[in-house]
Amino acid sequence: MSGYMLGNLLGRLLVSWLLVLLFSLVIKKGRMKAALRASVWPWGWLAVLALFGLGLLGTLLRLQHGG
Which residue, 44, 4, 55, is CA-closest to 20?
44
- What are the extents of the domains in the chain? 3-64
Can you say whether the dihedral through the CA atoms of 8, 42, 44, 46 is positive or negative?
Answer: positive
The pLDDT assigned to 66 comes to 78
* DSSP structural state of residue 41: S
Confidence of residue 6 (pLDDT cuts 50, 70, 90): very high
Render pLDDT for 22-43 as a digit per residue (tens, 0 to 9): 999 999 999 999 999 998 899 9
Name the phi and psi angles at 66, rounded to 5. 80, 25
The beta strand positions in the chain, using DSSP E, are none
- Residue 39, classed as helix, strand or coil, is helix
